[in-house]
Amino acid sequence: MPRLNDQVRELLQEYADLINITGGDAFRARAYEKAARAVGGHSEDVAGLDVKGLQQIPGVGKSTAEKVAEYLATGRIAALEALRAEVPSGVREMTAVPGVGPKRALALHRDLGISSVDDLAEAVRSDRLSGVAGFGERSGEKILHGIELLRRSGGRTLLDAATELAEQLVAALSAVPGCTRCAYAGSLRRMRETVGDVDVLATAADSAPLMAALTGLPYVAEVIASGPTKTSVRTTGGVQVDLRVVPEEDWGAALVYFTGSKAHNIRLRTIAVRAGLKLSEYGLFRTTAEGEGREGEDGEKEDGAKVASATEDEVYAALGLPWIAPPLREDRGEIEAALRGELPDLVQESDLRGDLHTHTDLTDGLATLEEMIDTAAARGYSYYAVTDHAPDLVMQRMTDEKMLAQRERLRRLADRHRKLRLLHGTELNIGPDGGVDWPPGFLAGFDVCVASVHSHFTADRAAQTRRLIRACENPHVHVIGHLTTRRIGRRGPIDVDLDAVFAAAARTGTAIEINSSPQRLDLRDEDVLRAKRHGVRFAIDSDAHATGQLAYPRFGIGTAQRGWLTAEDVINTWPWQRLKRFLRKDALR
């Protein structure tokens, strides 16, 4: 839950935006905007303040104070609700797209019926904006770029874009003469679902050629700071990159330090101090009570004796710990587990034997059945499920006939793919009451059924919980797809009692998906940890809608590792015979 002041700031900002969008007094809008910032930045919690007290905050006038007081007392602001009713929330999101703004957003909504950022992108791509007043020839391009920037918003970048950038950087810097080692660190190495910036670490005797190579890259738009040990730049895509160059002998200590997380590092330093050592990005050193050595940053004396620094293994070992995999380095119990010798044997991408959630051009995929299957075969899988959308997702126009014809076509392809077991499946829609698209007789014809929520996102907690538990209890539902339906940076999760759903999934032998699409990564890491405690099994799937997306599981694997999963927890690492037994849902028979 955000701080109350931040909640109030958001509401006032929204109110200001809505005034602008609806063509209200620009002066008033600006006053609310200013008040929003004032409340957000105010050091005292607004919770304890009355109208008078609120007005003491510089920039907060009487009518703002009254609205805030109303919110504190009732949990809502009537005037805001009234404006919200006039403007779809998607239109407000559109105003945030650079190059659109309130007036244009409203015009697009009124004249073209565009009511979300997604609609807007679609309209640009299908050329619906050309000829509309105020939109010149290059506007479309600018808007698409603006949408991309917005989607990175909150300053954070999605994992696929960050990974691609980091791999390019590492390749470019590794090729610089004198560079002996180069890798990315930070939250990206820990496989967090989004990254704030990309941290790259390199070793060289002379850092200058590496720094010059970075600032000279064609996709570097701005040099934020540059020095002998650290250079920061911003790419044309808006992502910040921090490059640090250290002597080769300090690689391990620097890699531990810059991989983080900060919380993990703090725990390591505490362990070091207790052992009479000092850990920094330069190495692990012995400290002496009143030594002669040079003074460290925090005033402790070092006697100069370096205990470890060349490799991560060496640094952890000197602290009495085994090497800890980066996705675990969040101070979520990994230090304790390491001390007990109980670190999990994390699931790896190479453990995956198949993909259980994929689409073709029969519904909203871009590639044909044959193309998807050929790509899956090239990945070396031993089984592969095609799971196109079921009929209740009306825009996909699925019919029984189309589904059965696809099954025939898939069965015929089996001859061409003797090493790859082809599974015919579907992605069912979990209805508001937990029912799914087809009757049991038809469902029984599928090898595997994923069931997902694609509608009624705003149902209340009790209803969402009930519908998902009922889906788990369906003997034909094997996997719950993208359980919370969130889209990172664009749509929040549904309100659901996850523990109740996890318990039902464990009890009924229903797997929960880790949807590997970098836009979803649903379940997220901390919920994976929780689900595992309930004894839930997982499926790490691509939800691919194109051949290239069959590579997405590398991101889902990151989330699974951050959730401490082992191969045993993940049904699509199992040999086919074992998976086949799981798909019978014996618990319900």
If one asks whether residue 485 binds ligand DGT (CB under 6 A), the answer comes out as no
Selected range binding ligand DGT among 51-59, 116-124, 258-266, 580-588, rule: CB under 6 A = 258-266
Number of residues that bind ligand DGT (CB under 6 A): 14
**Residue among 231 and 396 whose Cβ is closer to Zn ion:** 396
Contact 270, 264 (CB under 8 A): no
Distances, alpha carbon 339 to alpha carbons 268, 317, 322, 345, in Å: 12, 11, 8, 15
Q: What residues line the site for Zn ion (CB under 5 A)?
A: 452
Among 146, 260, 354, 434, binds ligand DGT (CB under 6 A): 260
The amino acid at 417: H
For 516-553, give one letter per residue: b (16+ CB within 10 A) or e: bbbbbbbbbbebbbebbebebbbbbbbbbbbbebbebb
135/258 with CB nearer ligand DGT:
258
From the list 262-270, 290-298, 303-311, 389-397, the region that binds ligand DGT by CB under 6 A is 262-270
> What is the token pair recorded at 42?
């105010």
- Ranges assigned E (strand) in 400-542: 421-429, 448-452, 479-480, 511-515, 538-541
> Between 93 and 242, whose beta carbon lies closer to Ca ion?
242
* 231 binding ligand DGT? (CB under 6 A): no
User: Binders of ligand DGT among 507-546, rule CB under 6 A?
Assistant: none
Contacts (CB under 6 A) with ligand DGT, residues 194-223 = 195-197, 199
Question: What are the E-state strand segments in 161-274?
Answer: 181-184, 194-195, 198-203, 220-226, 230-235, 240-246
Minimum CB separation of residue 498 from Zn ion in Å reads 19
Exposure letters 93-112 (e unless 16+ CB within 10 A, then b) = bbbbbebbebebbbbbbeee
| Residue 266 in the binding site for ligand DGT (CB under 6 A) | yes
The distance of closest approach from Cβ of residue 13 to ligand DGT in the complex, given in angstroms and rounded to an integer, is 23
Our finding on whether 186 is near Ca ion (CB under 5 A) is yes
Smallest gap from Cβ 427 to Zn ion, in A, equals: 5
115 binds, among ligand DGT, Ca ion, Zn ion, none (CB under 5 to 8 A by kind): none
Please say which residue, 186 or 354, places its beta carbon nearer to ligand DGT.
186
Token pair of 536 as six digits: 């839930």
Residues in Cβ contact with 559 at an 8 Å cutoff, skipping those fewer than 6 apart: 191, 193, 514, 516, 521, 523, 524, 525, 528
Using CB under 6 A as the binding rule, whether residue 265 contacts ligand DGT is answered as yes
The residue of the chain with the least Cβ separation from ligand DGT equals 260
Q: Which is nearer to ligand DGT, 258 or 564 (CB)?
A: 258
Long-range contacts of 40-47 (CB under 8 A, 24+ apart): 40/5, 40/6, 40/8, 40/9, 42/5, 45/3, 45/4, 45/5, 46/4, 46/5, 46/8, 46/72, 47/4, 47/72
| Residue (259 or 517) nearer to ligand DGT, CB | 259
- Here's the x/- map for Ca ion, 195-214, by CB under 5 A: it reads as --x-x---------------
Task: Name the residues that contact ligand DGT, by CB under 6 A.
Answer: 186-187, 192, 195-197, 199, 257-258, 260-262, 265-266
Q: Which residues of the chain form contacts with Ca ion (CB under 5 A)?
A: 186-187, 197, 199, 242
